[in-house]
A and B are shown apart, each in its own frame.
Chain A
Amino acid sequence: METAKVPTNVIQVESLTVCYQKPGLKRLTFEAVKQLSFEVHPGEVFGFLGPNGAGKTTTMNVLLGFVPPTRGTARLFGIDVRQPIARQRIGYLPELTYYYKFLTAEELLRFYAKIFGLPRAEADRRIAALLKLVELESAAQRPIKSYSKGMQQRVGLAQSLINNPDLLVLDEPTSGLDPLGRMKVREIIQRLKNEGKTVFFSSHELGEVETVCDRVAIVHQGELKAIGTVADISAGHENLEKAFLKIVGAAPAPTP
């Protein structure tokens, strides 16, 4: 008998709880994330939304291996996030540019290619293609510290794609970018989507989320408040922003 192959979820989070210890002698803890469960399917663009302090960043930190879960599990491609190999097929673009500024863009990309274990020829090919994609070919031999903010953001984008990732994790990808930079990020998300890649991103820019996301999750005070397609969540509201404000309990009072 032939069994149908069930595709593994790209991200699988089950009953995730993350506790932090408050500074001080009493060693009090608080739960930044409470019993969070959701999954992200292959090929979808998934928006992870919530107001400041909702637990978005903590959840992303768990997925990227920066913070260990206190309880529950988180998996990438079926592998526990605590194992480094779980991150073999992901690309990560942080909100701000956190790169070794004494390296040139080419050196940085080559370093990350080595970390991913790419063969030399493959690394050369990808580095050339990515430098072209982010339009940094002419500045590739200059140290990153001499780049403008926009150029540094583009280096970030290039490094997040060095391993041709199946999942791209973006933390506030368009914050601090000029309109051209935003357009570039949107283009890349769209291109990745067309290639069947999965994109997981957190954002405050709900208009943008509405445009590019297939599904969204809204978290508030560490708990999952809503999850579904943009159309499902926005149903009965003017737009996603109004639905979001209602869900997090911050809807403006009706005008008399």
Chain B
Amino acid sequence: MNKIFALASVVIKELYRRKDFYVLFVLTALLTVAAGAVNFFHDEKIVRYIKDICLLLIWVSALIIAIVTTARQIPAEREARTIFPLLAKPVSRGQVIAGKFLGCWLATGVALLVFYFFFALIVGSREQIWPVASYLQALWMQWFMLAIVIAMVLLGSIYFAAPSSTTTITFVAVIGLLLLGSHLKTIALQQPEPMQSVLTAAYFVMPHLEWYDLRDFVVYDLGVVPLRALALATVYASAWTGFFLGLTWLGFRRRSLNT
């Protein structure tokens, strides 16, 4: 486990020593602050729109950070050839994948924490209420959704040599999953057989990232999600993450890496 943590710590160090991470981070923070400072027409209900916009920004930024950071991990190791001195040490390829995943996931988690902290400050300053449990649940669910995304990106990065290809393909896939997840069942019910069965089957076998979107709970003050549902969603995300990491390991474990 120490080896996995050591690998993860290098990923985190790289992330906070890179400038592009700060650019995205500062941009999101600035937009959140700016959105929170605006008071259109002195409308008291405007705070709901502000919350919606800020949470959307946080979703997009966290997704970009997770995908861009993860997509370059293994391809960059191969391109810079740092993978060779690493694999010449007593470390398995499974540990390398686990370390990369953990590093990216933890780094994304830290970014989320800071984003939500900003969000809570802005909204709190306008509404004078602090629904901490609701925010923490939204953060938790988003973080676990990003675990699935990060594992998917790692899998893609084994097969696509260029980080840009992995980034684009995964981004499209994630957006597709988020949109399809919300509408596929409705579309399936409107189709004739056998298309209805095919689409229903697809609905049940795809990872449902949209379940992790608790933005409406926060925007419309709908309270908190029952803990049982939260626990089930956590198990579901862990299972999908494990599945994608397993596939990544299968693809990477016997791959020839020529110096």
Most chain A CB within a 10 A radius of its CB, from B5, B10, B95: B10
- Interface size for A (C-beta < 8 A) is 37
- Known A103-B10, A107-B13; contact A92-B3, beta-carbon cutoff 8 A: no
B88 at the interface (CB under 8 A from A): yes
Nearest Cβ distance between residue A240 and chain B, in whole angstroms? 25
Q: Hey, what's the 0/1 contact readout for B228-259 against A, CB within 8 Å counting as 1?
A: 00000000000000000000000000101111
Q: How far is the CA of A68 from the CA of B255 in the complex (A)?
A: 8
Contact assessment for A65 and B10 in the assembled complex, using a CB-CB cutoff below 8 Å = no
B90 at the interface (CB under 8 A from A): yes
Categorize the interface residue count of chain B.
Answer: 20 to 34
Contact residues of A with B, CB < 8 Å? 20, 57-58, 60-61, 64-68, 84-88, 90, 92, 94-96, 98-103, 107, 111-112, 114-117, 156, 159, 169, 171
Q: Hey, what's the 0/1 contact readout for B14-41 against A, CB within 8 Å counting as 1?
A: 1001100000000000000000000000
Q: Is the interface of A mostly helix, strand, loop or mixed?
A: mixed
Contact assessment for B10 and A111 in the assembled complex, using a CB-CB cutoff below 8 Å = yes
Q: Hey, what's the 0/1 contact readout for B62-97 against A, CB within 8 Å counting as 1?
A: 000000000000000000111111111111100100
Contact assessment for B6 and A111 in the assembled complex, using a CB-CB cutoff below 8 Å = yes
A99 contacts which of B7, B82, B90, B91 (Cβ < 8 Å)? B82
B190 at the interface (CB under 8 A from A): no
A171 contacts which of B2, B13, B87, B259 (Cβ < 8 Å)? B259
Chain A residues contacting B90 (CB-CB under 8 Å) are: 84-88, 115-117
Chain B residue, CB-CB nearest to A100: B82
Contact assessment for B258 and A112 in the assembled complex, using a CB-CB cutoff below 8 Å = no
Q: How far is the CA of A87 from the CA of B3 in the complex (A)?
A: 14
Q: How far is the CA of A96 from the CA of B2 in the complex (A)?
A: 28
